[in-house]
Structure 1
Amino acid sequence: MIPGLPRTDRGRTLLVLLLATVVTAFTATVPLLRDWFDLRVYYGSIDSWVHHGGRIYDYRVPGTTYGFTYPPFAAVVMLPMALLDLRTAIAAALLLNLAALAVILRLLAGPSWRRHGRYGWALTACLLALFEPLRDTFSFGQVNLLLLALVLTDATLLATGRTRWAGIGIGLAAAIKLTPALFIGLLLVAGRWRAAAVATTVALGATGVAAWVDPDASRFYWTEALWDTDRVGRLGYVSNQSVQGILARLGEPDRAVWAAAVALICAVWAVRARRAVVAEDWTSAFALTGLAACLVSPITWVHHLVWLLPSFAVLLRTGHPRIAGALYAVLCTSVVWLWFDDASGADGFLGSNTYAWITLGLLLWL
């Protein structure tokens, strides 16, 4: 029993209702609401491709310069949206994200998940609703939770010794979005050659399927769209909480400096992830890989930071609830947006990159 929390069912119910009210008021008034923007990009691209003979990467959300930026296999996976209207697609995205979140929590909790009970999970739901990366993932209609669920499924398979199917989730995630490809690197660092081969084969096979479905789109993505960061957004935008984002807010980023920083981060990650694997702590190894992926990716929007959730699970599991609570609370505040207009000066350097500093700190000291 945690000191200070109610001990009766009535007291617990009142606490959950109070927290739910506070969370509802907060999320309805404080955060930036995203109006399903990313989902509208997906939906518009698929609709244009299937029903109007357009090309996947030519579509732009009306009034913006933003269009589809994922590998072609992601569009293939999203083809069922062509059968839906936009409102139904939004509802389906909500349900899929909720299901993915439930899977993630179940996998991170491990065998102890039943001990938390309905009361514990109700409190967890209230706290998760405040987490800015999670709020943004739902509000944008993003796919990050689905990818994290795929990746963590492989972590569980490896941790429990059921390695026959290990690598499939990572391979699919990497074919849908490039960031999870670093988890193939984790399998190589860990010496899990079979799982790495499975993940690579699945990723290449899925990419091949997309090339068969739409050769022109695949050719355009891998030769042009992949290298055009302007399609994704401005590197110096405050939501970009990667190393590249830090450098861009300081001025025109130097490629050599960025490459050196990425190499150093990858070296630290490889050493620490290897140690975690040797200790048979796959949750920590996957948590460290998620942190490194967020840092080295050229663009890591705030909603990408759902990859930090395994790190908080590790902190709680290893007896550091105060550190986990403090860092988690910061990630609920939307604090980086205070420097939306001007990230100059020492305060801008520290404040506008707050989430990146947290990610780096967790990579070094998790």
Structure 2
Amino acid sequence: MSPPTRLTDAERAEAALDRPHRAVRWLIEFLPAFVVALILLPWIIATGTASPWRPATIDLDVYVAAVRDLLAGKDIYATRTPGWDLPYIYPPIAAILLVPFALLPMLALQLVWTALTVLAQRLILARARVPRGLTLGLVNVVLVVAFEPFRTTIGYGQVNTLLMALVVGDLLPRAVGERRWLPRGVATGLAAAIKLTPLLFLVFAFLTGRRRVAIIGLLATAFFTGIGYLLQPAATVRFAEKVLRGDTYGNPVYVGNQSLNAVFARTLGTDPSTVRLGLVVSMLAALIGLLAAVGLWRIEERVLAVGVVGLATCLASPLSWTHHHVWALLVGLGALQAARQYRDRVAGTRGRGRRPGLPSWLTIPCLVYAGWVALCPVLAFLPYGYDVERRYTPLQALAGNFLPLWGTALSMALLAYVIRVRPRAGSAGR
């Protein structure tokens, strides 16, 4: 349990806002980013067209095709989209939850899905303590334009940002005056029922003393998975079997796969022994990241802590496409906040309590990680496809594997730091 803290000036101003002013601020934070997203949407994925307005939201197409097959009584794991021949890879409960969306005309669905994604970005930024109003609105636009995972998630019609918002809404403190609609843990449990990797956030919640959140989250995961089994028993069992066998869709060698396991696949090959070695190393790296995040939470660097758990999920997953690395946003924002706290503490100005903050030798690596993810140079400058990654020059191989290797090294450095400062930080943040 965190000790009670006094309201900041910004929080007092927030509490004093009346409803009309809140509505205007909400529009400032959402509408510009939404308009920019609609303008860019046909251009993000290559096969889209602006006139007529036909974005190539190819992952959203997969969701719609799976729901239609579900309603027709067909096998959703035999679903393939026209043209791209992409399969449905999520558990049945995800398709069940998407039924209301898939009943919309495609144009309306693209508008609604884009709006929800931009709203999710707004929630994430607000919980990450980005100053409200114009600043948050501008940062939201920057995410759409210049942060590859968020931009590509919008372009594909993916679920990454929505799942991130479910977790962030659960784990990071609410803004003053903000309502909570569900008990803490339910949203993260829902995210874990849709995509397994958010389960690590429930482990994180347990290790940081929020056992009730973790238990509710696990119960929510079981509840939603159970609904999937009741309505689609055969498909749920089949999905579980695929997970246990380690079946994944996609080429692990492809440079767009920025997991630690992909480093082994591109460097040493994909024979069973190499795959097992890669998985073991990935699990160890994820454990290091998890422990670093627990330490960061306990020294009250909560935005950074949640971002590092997200980094750990990307390292651990066998397939982590570039657009899965949305968590780099929190690593960058959290590092900037922690660096400011460190400077204030050293200067003796505004450092609060015994919160140590983050020195520049750690802040800069965090920002390098976030910047690399945002710019995504591996897809901008490296050749890819048809296993060309196996024939990379040493410099190309270094660039292609830089992100997971840097993320692993960053996790280790953060863990070493929180171990060193923890005795001085006392029990802050418990």
TM-score, normalising length: structure 2 = 0.71
Bigger relative contact order, structure 1 or 2 (CA pairs below 8 A, ≥6 apart)? 1
Residue 63 (structure 1) shift? 3.8
| Other-structure match for 2:88 | 68
- Residue among 274, 295, 299 paired with 2:294: 274
| Other-structure match for 1:165 | 183
Residue 309 (structure 1) shift? 1.4
| Other-structure match for 1:145 | 161
| Structure 2: segments with no counterpart, 5+ residues | 1-32, 48-55, 340-359, 415-430
- Residue among 48, 57, 66 paired with 2:69: 48
| Other-structure match for 1:241 | 258
Residue 166 (structure 1) shift? 2.0
| Other-structure match for 1:88 | 108
| Other-structure match for 2:378 | 336
Residue 32 (structure 1) shift? 5.1
Moved more, 83-92 or 259-268: 259-268
Residue 325 (structure 1) shift? 5.6
8 Å Cα contact 1:308-1:359 kept in structure 2: no
8 Å Cα contact 2:202-2:217 kept in structure 1: yes
8 Å Cα contact 1:108-1:313 kept in structure 2: yes
CA distance in 1, matches of 2:260, 2:153: 21
- The residue type paired with residue 40 of structure 1 is D
The 1:195–1:276 alpha-carbon spacing in structure 2 relative to 1, beyond 3 Å, is same
- The residue type paired with residue 263 of structure 2 is I
- The residue type paired with residue 364 of structure 1 is M
8 Å Cα contact 2:335-2:367 kept in structure 1: no
Residue 181 (structure 1) shift? 1.1
> Cα deviations across residues 177-233 of structure 1 (Å, max 9, x unaligned)?
111111111123223222211110000011001111111211211123663535x21
Secondary structure in 1 aligned to 2:403? helix
| Structure 1: segments with no counterpart, 5+ residues | 1-19
Residue 327 (structure 1) shift? 4.5
CA distance in 2, matches of 1:71, 1:326: 35
| Other-structure match for 1:223 | 241
| Other-structure match for 2:149 | 133
8 Å Cα contact 1:183-1:289 kept in structure 2: yes
TM-score, normalising length: structure 1 = 0.82
The 1:108–1:158 alpha-carbon spacing in structure 2 relative to 1, beyond 3 Å, is closer
The 1:226–1:90 alpha-carbon spacing in structure 2 relative to 1, beyond 3 Å, is farther
- The residue type paired with residue 169 of structure 2 is T
The 1:302–1:265 alpha-carbon spacing in structure 2 relative to 1, beyond 3 Å, is same
Secondary structure in 1 aligned to 2:128? helix
CA distance in 2, matches of 1:73, 1:243: 28
> Cα deviations across residues 220-257 of structure 1 (Å, max 9, x unaligned)?
11123663535x21111111100111111114231332
Secondary structure in 1 aligned to 2:331? helix
| Other-structure match for 2:58 | 37
Q: How many pairs were matched up?
A: 335
- The residue type paired with residue 116 of structure 2 is L
> Cα deviations across residues 328-360 of structure 1 (Å, max 9, x unaligned)?
443343311213153323112211123324433
8 Å Cα contact 1:27-1:130 kept in structure 2: no
| Other-structure match for 2:170 | 154
CA RMSD of aligned residues (A): 2.9
Identity between Structure 1 and Structure 2 (%): 30
